[in-house]
Amino acid sequence: IESRPEGKHRARIVNGFKNGDSMCFNYLFFIDFEASVEDPRAQYALAHLQ
């Protein structure tokens, strides 16, 4: 996992909120891993990151 400061252009999440609000974050996190999308362990890991 790596993180990068966002500076002037902060990351923003718009979807997923019932009232249409958005949230801004100062850092963006990157995850890089190799696995098949068919691998249940990879699906499990990705599901828990959401």
Residue 42 backbone dihedrals phi, psi, to 5 degrees: -70, -40
Distance linking the first and last C-alpha atoms of the chain:
15
Q: pLDDT by residue (tens digit) across 1-48? A: 566 666 665 666 656 556 666 666 666 677 788 999 899 999 998 888
What is the SS3 assignment for 47? helix
Q: Which pLDDT does position 39 carry in this prediction?
A: 94
User: What residue segments make up the domains of the chain, in order of their start?
Assistant: 2-49
Predicted structure pTM score:
0.43
The closest of 31, 13, 30 to 22, measured between CA atoms, is 13
